Structure formats: C-alpha cells, structure tokens
C-alpha cells in the first residue's frame, strides 16, 4: 500500500515537473543561482525531499543523471576544451564516460552488523545533509558528475563552487544533472551553484551554517582553505607522481605505458606521470622506446633553455598559457616543427630541475637517471614531496615494488601499467576524480560522504 502511495506521489511529481520544465525555458535555471545563499537554501530544501525517497528511487535518480550526462558527453567535453583551452577533446570524452560508468552509486553503502546475546547493532551510513564541493579547472564536468553521483547516492545535496575559468562547463553540468533528476520525478536543486563563481562566494559557502561537510578538489591552496574552515573537510590535493623504472621491467611496455599515461589529456590529471626516474643500465633503451611511442626528445642544451623560458614563469612555476597544451604546439613555440602525432616532449635533467620538482600539467616529461634502485626510491620519495598522491613503478621484482610502496606512502600505487589504471582504466576497481590523500579518505565514493551511526536493538533478533 505504502509503495502504491509512493508511486502515485512520484507520478504527480513527474507531471508537475514536466509542466515546470516546459514553463521554465531558461537554459541555466536548473540549480544555477545569482547568490550563494540562495544556492545553499535551495539545495538544503532539496535534500529534505531526497531523504523521503527509498534507496530504489534514489537509485533511479542516479540512473537518470548518468543517462543525461551520457547523452551530453560530447557537448560537455567540447565546452571544457574550448572554455579552458586545456587538454584534448577526445581524452575529455574518455574521462567523462569513465565517471559516468564507473562511479559507484547506492550499492556502495554497506552497513556493518554486530549480533549476539544482547541483540542486534547496526552501523548505518547516513547522509551529512548538505555538502559544499569545490571543483578544479582541469576536470570540471568530470568532478561535478563524480561528486554528484557519490554525494546524492549517499543521500546528500551539494552546492558546487567551481573554478571561474571553467564556469560555463560547470554550470551546464549542474543544469543537466538537475534536469535529469527532475525528469525522473525527483526534487529540483539537489545540485546547485552560482552564475558567477568567485573566491568570495566560495568563502560564503565554506562559512555557511547549513553546509555540513566541505570537499575540495584542487591544489594546495584550496585544501588548506577547507581545512582551516572549522568544518569537517575532505581535501583532494595536488600530486607530482613519479614513475620509477628498474632493470627488471619490461622496458618496451614501460615506455609505452608512461607515454600513454603522461600524455592523457595533455598531462592534466593529477595522477598522470609527472617525472620518470630510471636506473642507468636501462635508461637509454627506455628513451629509445619512448621515442618509438610518439615522444620527442630535446637534447640540445640551448633548446632546453628556450623551453624552460617558455613554459616556466618568473617564479619557476608552470606558465598558465602552456598548461594542458599539445606537445606539438609547445615544440612549435621553441622553433621545432613536428607532426601532431607527437604526444610528449622528453628531456633528461637532474632531480633538482624545476620540471621535476613542479607539477607541470603539460606533456613535458623530465627523466632523471640514477645509478640503482635504492637511489631511484630515494629520489621518487623526495620529488613526490609527501603529497601522498600517486606513484607508478615498472619492475618485476616484488621486493623492490614493496619497498617503494612502503617508502612513498601514496594513495595510489600503480605497478606495471599507465597511471590511469589507478582510477579504473585498464586496472580493477571503481573510479573517482576526488582522490583524498591529505585527509586520508583515499579514492572517494558514496560511503565517503556519509556519517556512521549506530542503531542498537537490545535483546532481540539474535537467531544464531
């Protein structure tokens, strides 16, 4: 009987929503507000509606969200590519499909049980309520889709504070998600944002009393900001993933994997190989094989200086204009005309070089030659800077693989594959675009966005 009433309510809501959809012909009206306070209030009310539905219905909203994003993958990828001027359109399509298909939904919420003479105790995963999520420019739609799936599956609503440079893509993603949920009979504004995102508006969100949890995906600045907010916060920060290669590795495969991983979306992903540390005896053969896999090597010292001047700013950090640009574009700017087939620029340098020390986020891959595996492990730990993000190693020696994993303490450790295997592409496991190293939640999913609550029934239901 209860289900019939629920079904009827849903039909009425769907019809009403269809009427609203027809009347509201404004492209950005679903979840997009002028003021941050209004975005927060609307999402807060929507969450109260969401928790009235059972998990089966919540799951239907998530399916509708996935379907709508799937239908708009090309649009969102094109928008992100054109708006940010970074990355590769075809890789953005792959990244969006990945989050749509492989981000866990309500099935991720598993309860714990204790049962015995004193009865039955459940540990249930309950929503926080309203989450404030800050998203990066490097994966704008991907992070919003991924966060929305996990956060809504867990019973929350979410207010997004996107990067201003990816505003249009982010707003469109929020709108598509809301439209999909409304069309499936759910509440409008489960995800909201502001028309003009700014740091001031992000500040308002971080301080607002109705926000119960903050989730930041970005560089060190934003992670520090949420951790200083006084609220519960999850921080997914910067990485500088080293790829270590020793003499036991399959060098031909290692070279291909490293170039594939480092050039994916022009090195924008935080997990992508940012430097290679290779033992001397196999270094030349690795470089030879990288070149066979569309890498261009710069050996000339004058050319290297030219490249440094071009892609680093006066403070030694990567120049904004070259972040996420194609390798052939960067090469042309230093006077080398090459085919667009070239995916990465490789250059042998010392470990102290800024290309090694800084997260470049462009397909320029520095290579550091070391005498043996002990030195390789030492250098890898040093250049990862304790971010606890991602490391990659190519080796057939289990003791060495274990040694680096223990020393480097990264959230993701990929062995004998490209970095993206660590987020479920050609590697087992679900995906996420919010990898919380600094705060320790790891690869976030629906259960990350829940509070653990204990529910105790005394003296019953023990039937062992």
Q: Residues interacting with ligand NAD, by CB under 6 A? A: 134-139, 161-163, 199, 202, 217-219, 221-222, 225, 236-239, 270, 359, 433-435
Using an 8 Å Cβ cutoff, are 80 and 162 in contact?
no
CA angle 6, 144, 17 (to 5 degrees): 35
Query: DSSP for 341-401?
Result: T--EEEEE--TTSHHHHS---SSEEEEEEESSHHHHHHHHHHHHTT---EEEEE-S-HHHH
CB closer to ligand NAD, 127 vs 132: 132
Q: How far is the CB of 6 from ligand NAD (least distance, A)?
A: 37
CB closer to ligand NAD, 161 vs 169: 161
Q: How far is the CB of 162 from ligand NAD (least distance, A)?
A: 6
CB closer to ligand NAD, 139 vs 450: 139
3-class secondary-structure state, position 227:
helix
Quote the tokens at residue 211: 């926000």
Q: How far is the CB of 167 from ligand NAD (least distance, A)?
A: 10
Nearest-10 crossing angle of helices 89-102, 140-153: 0
CB closer to ligand NAD, 219 vs 427: 219
CB closer to ligand NAD, 226 vs 298: 226
CB closer to ligand NAD, 188 vs 431: 431
Among 249, 245, 274, which residue's Cα sits nearest to residue 404? 245
3-class secondary-structure state, position 162:
coil
Q: How far is the CB of 445 from ligand NAD (least distance, A)?
A: 13
Q: How far is the CB of 371 from ligand NAD (least distance, A)?
A: 30
Using an 8 Å Cβ cutoff, are 348 and 287 in contact?
yes
CA angle 403, 409, 411 (to 5 degrees): 125
Q: How far is the CB of 21 from ligand NAD (least distance, A)?
A: 29
Q: How far is the CB of 130 from ligand NAD (least distance, A)?
A: 17
Query: DSSP for 130-151?
Result: EEEEE--SSSHHHHHHHHHHHH
Which helix (H) or strand (E) is 116 found in, with range? strand 112-116
Q: How far is the CB of 221 from ligand NAD (least distance, A)?
A: 4
CB closer to ligand NAD, 53 vs 387: 387
Using an 8 Å Cβ cutoff, are 334 and 319 in contact?
no
Shortest-Cβ-distance residue relative to ligand NAD: 218
CB closer to ligand NAD, 134 vs 364: 134
Among 425, 423, 426, 386, which residue's Cα sits nearest to residue 407? 386
Using an 8 Å Cβ cutoff, are 445 and 150 in contact?
yes
Q: How far is the CB of 85 from ligand NAD (least distance, A)?
A: 13
Residues 6+ apart with CB under 8 A from 424: 98, 102, 430, 431
CA distance 174 to 172: 5
Q: How far is the CB of 357 from ligand NAD (least distance, A)?
A: 14
CB closer to ligand NAD, 17 vs 137: 137
CB closer to ligand NAD, 264 vs 433: 433
Quote the tokens at residue 95: 């990244």
Q: How far is the CB of 431 from ligand NAD (least distance, A)?
A: 11
Q: Which residue has the tokens 């790891």?
A: 442
Among 251, 256, 250, 297, which residue's Cα sits nearest to residue 273? 256
Phi/psi region, residue 452 (left: phi>0; alpha: psi -120 to 50; beta: rest), is beta
CB closer to ligand NAD, 254 vs 412: 412
Among 242, 348, 377, which residue's Cα sits nearest to residue 290? 348
Q: How far is the CB of 343 from ligand NAD (least distance, A)?
A: 20
Nearest-10 crossing angle of helices 280-292, 251-263: 60
Residue 422 phi/psi, 5° resolution?
-70, -15
CB closer to ligand NAD, 176 vs 194: 194
């Amino acid at each position: 009987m209860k289900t019939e009433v629920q079904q009827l309510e849903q039909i009425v809501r769907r019809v009403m929503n269809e009427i609203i959809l027809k009347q509201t012909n404004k492209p950005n009206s679903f979840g997009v507000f002028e003021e941050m306070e209004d975005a927060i209030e609307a999402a807060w009310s929507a969450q109260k509606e969401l928790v009235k539905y059972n998990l089966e219905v919540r799951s239907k909203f998530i399916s509708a969200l996935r379907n709508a994003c799937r239908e708009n993958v090309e649009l969102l990828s094109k928008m992100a590519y054109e708006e940010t001027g970074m990355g590769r359109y075809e890789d953005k399509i792959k990244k969006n499909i990945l989050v749509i298909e492989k981000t866990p939904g309500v099935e991720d919420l598993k309860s714990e049980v204790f049962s015995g003479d004193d009865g039955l105790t459940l540990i249930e995963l309950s929503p926080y309520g309203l989450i404030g999520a800050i998203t990066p420019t490097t994966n704008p739609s991907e992070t919003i889709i991924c966060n929305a799936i996990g956060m809504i599956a867990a019973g929350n609503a979410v207010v997004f504070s996107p990067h201003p440079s990816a505003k249009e893509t982010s707003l469109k993603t929020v709108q598509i998600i809301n439209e999909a949920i409304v069309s499936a009979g759910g509440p409008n504004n489960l995800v909201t944002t502001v028309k003009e995102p700014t740091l001031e508006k992000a500040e308002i969100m971080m301080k607002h009393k109705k926000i119960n949890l903050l989730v930041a995906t970005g560089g060190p600045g934003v992670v520090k900001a949420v951790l200083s907010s006084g609220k519960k916060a999850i921080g997914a920060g910067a990485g500088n993933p080293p790829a270590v290669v020793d003499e036991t590795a399959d060098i031909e495969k290692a070279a291909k994997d490293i170039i594939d991983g480092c050039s994916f979306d022009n090195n924008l992903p935080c997990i992508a190989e940012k430097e290679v540390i290779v033992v001397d005896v196999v270094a030349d053969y690795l470089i030879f094989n990288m070149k066979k896999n569309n890498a261009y090597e710069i050996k000339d010292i004058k050319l290297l200086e030219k490249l440094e001047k071009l892609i680093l700013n006066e403070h030694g950090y990567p120049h904004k204009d070259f972040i996420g640009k194609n390798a052939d574009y960067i090469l042309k700017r230093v006077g080398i005309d090459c085919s667009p087939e070239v995916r990465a620029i490789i250059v042998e340098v010392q470990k102290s070089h800024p290309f090694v020390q800084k997260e470049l986020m462009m397909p320029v891959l520095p290579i550091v030659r070391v005498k043996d595996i002990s030195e390789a492990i030492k250098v890898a730990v040093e250049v990862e800077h304790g971010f606890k993000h991602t490391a990659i190693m190519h080796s057939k020696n289990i003791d060495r693989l274990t040694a680096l994993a223990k020393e480097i303490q990264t959230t993701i450790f990929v062995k004998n594959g490209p970095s993206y295997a660590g987020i479920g592409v050609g590697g087992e496991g679900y995906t996420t675009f919010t990898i919380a190293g600094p705060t320790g939640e790891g690869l976030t999913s629906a259960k990350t966005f829940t509070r653990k609550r204990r529910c105790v029934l005394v003296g019953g239901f023990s039937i062992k």
